[in-house]
Amino acid sequence: PVANATITLSPLAHQVRAGDNVTLCCSVQVGSAPVTFTWLHNGQEVARGPLLELGAIEMGHSGTYQCMATNPPDGHSVSQTLSPELALEVTPQGHKDKVSAGVGGALLFLLLLVGVIVAWHWWH
């Protein structure tokens, strides 16, 4: 029978930024092949296999993840184990960076506008 399913997260942070690449890996400490893995996100099945690659993560990926490992120990009865829940929080990507870039762009535009006005006054 299978037992002690665990999830490891790469990168090792429970809080990630939108756009980051995230991979979850499920493994069991006890159990013989063949073992199948089923991924749950907020209690709903989302994928199968030992790896869950979320790619460029989005806000909708926030929530709890679990993996269920299953194998038939004697070919007839099914053995399964559920990992502890992993809570994943996705934060918006660099909101401060976007604001400062917008302010910098506005200041550059104003500086250019003042330069055009001064040049126009000199010319006339």
Q: Of 6-10, 29-33, 106-110, give the range with the top mean pLDDT.
A: 6-10
pLDDT tens digits, residue range 41-74? 999 999 999 999 998 889 999 999 999 999 876 6
The answer, yes or no, to whether residue 94 has pLDDT greater than 90, is no
10-24 per-position pLDDT tens digit: 877 667 888 889 999
Q: Is residue 123 part of a domain?
A: no
Average pLDDT, the chain: 82
Judge whether residue 97 has pLDDT over 60.
no
Residue 88 lies in a domain: yes
> Distances in Å between the alpha carbon of 75 and those of 47, 69, 70, 106?
24, 16, 12, 69
Domain that holds residue 45: 3-92
Number of domains in the chain: 1
Look at residue 83 and tell me if it is in a domain: yes
